[in-house]
Structure 1
Amino acid sequence: MAEFNLVRLSQLLREHGEQDASVDVDLAGNIEDITFEDLGIDSLALFNTFVQIEREYTVELSYDVAVDAETPGELVKLVNEKLATGS
């Protein structure tokens, strides 16, 4: 399986929820260091994105990953660490 990246994460976020209309950030832009909250991503969209990542990349994302990853960049890093260790 290929490495997980910001482009794929952005696609998944758009597929699994609507961005808060009051937030003026393009998910296709440089979102690496912007918190999910500041991106206007709600918890349901983030949960559904996590589930899709688990299915697509055959990794298990624990609750700790969900809590620790506050930005897309952090999530990409954590997923790739899981992929590298095969867990």
Structure 2
Amino acid sequence: MDTFTLEDLKTYLREAVGDDDSVDLDGDIVDVPFAELGFDSLAVIDTTSKIERRYGVALPEDAAAAAETPGELLELVTSQIAAAA
């Protein structure tokens, strides 16, 4: 079974913003809102679509859109991966 960690999520988030130096994903970001981290809804959508393709899961659109923090998105992804296993 594939595992998905906060470090994995950070990798996908970094890909979504490219070389944007204003985005800082170091430290404890689990409960920091995406908006405070510098992510708009399009960056989060891009992140979730890449995760879906890589892990072969379908994240419910409403749940993915409702995820306001990396921790919430991480919980959603790990639960979908576990359900698919």
TM-score for the superposition, normalised by structure 1: 0.83
Alignment RMSD, CA only? 1.9
Matched residue, 2:15: 15
> Which amino acid in 1 is paired with 2:6?
L
3-state SS in 2 of match to 1:60? coil
Q: Which residue, out of 56, 59, 63, partners 2:57? A: 59
More helix by share: 2
Matched residue, 2:4: 4
Query: How many positions carry a matched residue from both structures?
Result: 84
Which blocks of at least 5 consecutive residues in structure 1 are unaligned?
Answer: none
4+ aligned runs moved over 6 Å, structure 1: none
Identity %: 48
- Alpha carbons 1:17, 1:44 under 8 Å: kept: no
> Which amino acid in 1 is paired with 2:15?
E
Which blocks of at least 5 consecutive residues in structure 2 are unaligned?
Answer: none
Distance 1:20 1:42, change over 3 A: farther
User: How far apart in 1 are the matches of 2:44 and 2:65?
Assistant: 11
User: How far apart in 1 are the matches of 2:50 and 2:8?
Assistant: 11
Alpha-carbon deviation of 1:2?
A: 2.2
User: How far apart in 1 are the matches of 2:29 and 2:75?
Assistant: 14
